[in-house]
Amino acid sequence: MRDSKHALESVIHGAFLLLGLITVGCVLLITVYLILSGIPAIRQIGLFKFLFGRTWASTASTPQFGILPFILTSVYGTAGAMAIGVPVGFLTAVYLAKAAPPAVKGAVGAAVSMLAGIPSVVYGLVGMLVLVPGIRTLFHVPDGASLLAAIVVLAVMILPSIVNVSVTALEAVPREYEDASLALGATATETYFRVSVPAARSGIAAAVVLGVGRAVGEAMAVMMVSGNVANMPSLFQSVRFLTTAVASEMSYSSGLQRQALFSIALVLYLFILLINAALNFFLKRGKEE
């Protein structure tokens, strides 16, 4: 009786261990698959030519597979989205965490989580019909589907990540810090920006990094507003991101072209792993502080 109970316990323990290891298994699966399917094309094309080639012409008679335009578009697009999204998100977060009256905080907080919940294709759709024509008429360019449109859409899409993580960090700042600052004669607003924000800097940095990850990884919304042509990035040109490069040719690709798409995904994955490592670094430092 005792033995059978013991055996049952070990079996169940084993089963839960297996469940626990599933996440690790999934990460390994994804990593191994991307490496296995991404390496062949890079070897055939040549690493340097692949990463720094300036022309992507996958269906030409002498195909060229240079992904520098995609890498730079992703970098510039993300940087642009951060330039707009970070200040707005950061200031919103300080307001929500410190200055807002409870009712306003509830309303704006709900708005922010709504922003996080809206599907990316809906952003893409609104971007296509509002933003793209808007850019065309405002800047007198032939086509509004451009890097700029993608930047604006991404800036809106990363707002909730930045706001939510920053608010959490700001709310964790010990009350005593702020009380001390107030007692020394600083006003409330000065205290928020000169005491609370520096104290929460790791968490805010984590928020920014999380936003970078979201922007780099977004595919559908960007695909719908950026025009999707493999140009070198320029604000009013139609461009293609790393994510959209994978998505846009997948359905009709074959052979080396298809393998090159897997290689692009591998490059994207490496970017994301780097960003995740940075995120973890800031989160851990935030906890230690």
Partner 1 sequence: MRRGISKKRRAYIALMRALMGLSAGLTAALVLFLVVYVMAKGIPELSWDLLTTKPSYLRGTIGILPDILNTVYIIIAALVFVLPLGAGAAVYLTEYARNKRLVAVIEYAAETLSGIPSIIYGLVGMLFFCSLLNMQTSLLAGALTLVIMNLPTVLRTTQESLKTVPQSYREGAFGLGAGRWRVIRTVVLPGCVDGIVTGCILSIGRILGESAALLFTAGFAHAIHGFFQALEHSGATLTVALYVYVKEAGEFGVGFAIAAILMVLTLIIQLAAALAGRYFKRRRGS
**Candidate residues 156, 169, 195, 207; the one interacting with partner 1 per rule CB under 8 A:** 156
**Candidate residues 7, 15, 35, 138; the one interacting with partner 1 per rule CB under 8 A:** 15
Kindly write out the interface string for residues 162-181 of this chain, putting x where it contacts partner 1 by CB under 8 A and - elsewhere: -x------------------
Q: Is 229 in the site for partner 1 (CB under 8 A)?
A: no
Name the amino acid, one letter, at 127: G
**Candidate residues 41, 149, 208, 268; the one interacting with partner 1 per rule CB under 8 A:** 268
Q: Is 275 in the site for partner 1 (CB under 8 A)?
A: yes
Residue with tokens 């971007």: 127
Between 26 and 79, whose beta carbon lies closer to partner 1?
A: 26
Task: State the minimum distance, in angstroms, from the CB of residue 187 to partner 1.
Answer: 6
Footprint (CB under 8 A) of partner 1, residues 16-75? 16-17, 19-24, 26-27, 29-30, 33-34, 37
- Of 195, 150, 189, the closest CA to residue 170 belongs to 195
Positive or negative: CA dihedral 187, 193, 194, 195: positive
Q: Is 207 in the site for partner 1 (CB under 8 A)?
A: no
In the three-class reduction of DSSP (H, G, I as helix; E, B as strand; rest coil), residue 46 is classed as coil
CA gyration radius, the chain: 23
Q: How many residues bind partner 1 (CB under 8 A)?
A: 85
In the three-class reduction of DSSP (H, G, I as helix; E, B as strand; rest coil), residue 134 is classed as helix
Distance between CA atoms of 272 and 66, rounded to whole angstroms? Answer: 20
Footprint (CB under 8 A) of partner 1, residues 81-140? 87-92, 94-96, 99-100, 104, 107-108, 110-115, 117-122, 124-126, 128-130
Between 30 and 54, whose beta carbon lies closer to partner 1?
A: 30
**Candidate residues 79, 138, 250, 270; the one interacting with partner 1 per rule CB under 8 A:** 250
Between 125 and 234, whose beta carbon lies closer to partner 1?
A: 125
**Helix, strand, coil % over all residues of the chain, rounded to 5:** 80, 0, 20
- Candidates 41-49, 75-83, 198-206, 219-227: pick the segment binding partner 1 (CB under 8 A): 219-227
Is 225:132 a contact under the CB 8 Å cutoff?
yes
In the three-class reduction of DSSP (H, G, I as helix; E, B as strand; rest coil), residue 56 is classed as strand
Q: How far is CA 261 from CA 143, 187, 213, 265, in A?
A: 27, 55, 20, 6
Between 43 and 284, whose beta carbon lies closer to partner 1?
A: 284
Distance between CA atoms of 128 and 141, rounded to whole angstroms? Answer: 15
Could you tell me how far CA 145 lies from the centroid of its own chain?
21
Task: State the minimum distance, in angstroms, from the CB of residue 108 to partner 1.
Answer: 5
**Candidate residues 213, 227, 233, 286; the one interacting with partner 1 per rule CB under 8 A:** 213
Read off the tokens for 154: 């991404």
